[in-house]
Structure 1
Amino acid sequence: MEESGRILFAKRLRDARERLRGLTQTQLAEKTGLPATTISHFENPEGTRKPSFDNLRRLANALEVTTDYLLGLSDDFVSVATDSALYRDVQNLTDQDRDFAQMMIRKMLEKNQPKE
């Protein structure tokens, strides 16, 4: 990870922890099984600690963001659970069936919206 990538990772990790999930370093440490000091080192833009792939996945999973977001490869932080049965099933549909499923999901979301 080059210097600008490390700085962006530190910023995004902290931002995801604080702003997106409202967690302290200690809470994130508990969710990931990593020491709080490790989280602190990762969030230090001037530090030299880089996460291993396994630790990067732990952080992303605990924060419910993508690893690409944390690494600065994507601005979309929403994690698509590619290991979920629903995601796998949708990938096996035809384009026409996928469009129909998307329409049904929109209808369900509309139905569950509070009435004004």
Structure 2
Amino acid sequence: MPEDLFPTRLRLIREQRGFTQAQLATEAGLPATTISHFEAGSRKPSFDNLRRLSKTLNVSSDYLMGITDTQEATGAASRIARHLGNASKEDIAFLEQMAQAMANKSKPNDE
């Protein structure tokens, strides 16, 4: 994990969400001591534990691991991209047009 930000970010997000270590452990289905070990940096999470923590804290696992500075649980683009693996070129072009139309709709009208 880059710069081993996981312990710091886990504690920060846990506190921002108003959880004690014990509450987070209960919500994520983990032993309370596990959260303590993670925040102390003495243990690293398994993939399953990272997934549980990300879901419980509603934050991206990439953020917890220090890969990105974006906290979103799953970015909208990532969620959409997962569905495009089998999309046709025409479908993708249509979606790009829709995305552009929505972005333009959201822009303030400068006219």
Alpha-carbon distance change, 98 to 9 in structure 1, aligned in 2, over 3 angstroms: same
- Structure 2 residue 36 is the aligned partner of structure 1 residue 36: no
Q: Counterparts of 2:104 and 2:52 in 1: how far apart (Å)?
A: 31
- Deviation digits for residues 51-98 of structure 1 (CA, Å, limit 9, x no counterpart): 11111111111111111100000000101278xxx8466885534445
Task: State how many pairs are aligned.
Answer: 99
CA RMSD of aligned residues (A): 3.0
Which runs of 5 or more structure 1 residues have no equivalent in the other structure?
Answer: 110-116
Identify the residue that residue 23 of structure 1 maps to in structure 2: 19
Q: Counterparts of 1:36 and 1:64 in 2: how far apart (Å)?
A: 19
TM-score (norm 1): 0.66
Q: Counterparts of 2:45 and 2:65 in 1: how far apart (Å)?
A: 11
1:1-116 maps to which residues of 2 (within 5 A)?
1=1, 4-5=3-4, 8-19=5-16, 21-44=17-40, 47-80=41-74, 87=80, 93-100=91-98
Which runs of 5 or more structure 2 residues have no equivalent in the other structure?
Answer: 107-111
Alpha-carbon distance change, 95 to 16 in structure 1, aligned in 2, over 3 angstroms: farther
